[in-house]
Structure 1
Amino acid sequence: MTFSICVREPYEDDDGDQQYRFGVAITTRLPAVGVPCPHVNEHGAVATQSLTNERLGSKGIEYLADGLGIEDALQGLLNADDGSASRQLHGVSRDGEFTFSGDECNGWYGHTSGENYTVAGNLLTGEAVVERTAEQYEDLAFGDEPLAKRLIDALGAGQAAGGDKREDLTIQSAAVNVVDTGEDERAYYDNLRVDASEDPIVDLRETYRLAKQGYEDALERYEESEDEDGADDEE
């Protein structure tokens, strides 16, 4: 049904303070995957999928904000969930990773993790989808491009490796969501969705390009307006 990646990127800002980028990207052969499945805040990123229970994601990041470790938070939610055998749940916090694929998920299903990331998928053409998503992120980790762009590229690598196996379902969706604790305001391109498309990753990549361009154009326009106002004040 779905494959997704969750990422943590710690870094120091110009003042030497510890900051984090958290992000999640996801795609599926159903509409509007960005509504119930990806969850992110300044404490972590979580994806809930397979037979999706949205509460596992929303409560998961809420518990992270309350100071729980990610394993305690997510495993505790699964322990209280009667449908946990049909769930996939994975994510990252400031100090850990968590992956879970229930025994009743539909094949191919599985997950992997590495330093600062987790990847999981179900109803895929094979293990290569998860592996290529992870490998692409590892190649791009902490790169010059914004995290949202690199997460979309990681999804693209998984899609190129086969993606979701249900070719009879043509209406698909994808989403990316990023939070950066070192930024005062959130960039327009850090929270994007393509809710219904026959090629959602291509469309998400184009949506990202346009959103980034629009954000940069708006910043430039505001700076020009401030400069003009300053010049008027001096006259």
Structure 2
Amino acid sequence: MTAIELVVLDMAGTTVRDDGVVEQAFQRAAERTGVADRMPWGDALQYVRDTMGQSKIEVFTHLSGGDRVAAERATAAFEAAYDEIIAEQGAEEILGARAAIEQLKSDGLKVVLTTGFAPVTRDALLDALGWHDLVDLALSPVDAGRGRPHPDLVLTALLRTGVSSVQAVAVVGDTASDVLSGRRAGAGFVAGVLSGAHDEAAILGAGADAVLPSIVDLRETLAARGLLAPVPVS
């Protein structure tokens, strides 16, 4: 059994509280760019929920009926709307997330945050939380090639941190897309958390090895499965 060297964590819904902010931003963007006129909003909202965690431009491409130009315009509007809401409401971590990440780091693990947001929104969240120095790296789809559910974000995290193998990677997120991304990358351990968008059935259906109440439970789960290497004594 390969010990975990790298933990790849999703942001909104996994380490950062969402509280419907993503849905609000989608709705504002859809209304401002006319995407909301292309299908009933109830249907569009369900698609947004089903595809949580995926690259936002891919979601808007579907909602725009394949119109890539409209999707790019709507994605820019989404990022602006998300930034507005964060400015209005602030950003909060999932309870205990920072401490959980600090513990993983003290165990000698590398930690990378991944998201479907563009870098400008990702960095605004990190600024609001004061997390730039907390993790080794934060990645958006543009940094990797493709967003979730493709494996690119996980594999880019592996390459940039220099860990030994994909079996030494743990992937954790709150959506089926997070789980699929980890599975397709060949990660040694893939878990879902119930602090965000998708329920246990959706997470298990995507192939998760475990479903956890929140990110706070990750370290104990890794330890119980024998996936934590002993920390060298200095």
Q: TM-score scaled by structure 1?
A: 0.32
Say which structure is richer in helix: 2
Largest Rg, 1 or 2: 1
Say which structure is richer in strand: 1
Q: TM-score scaled by structure 2?
A: 0.32
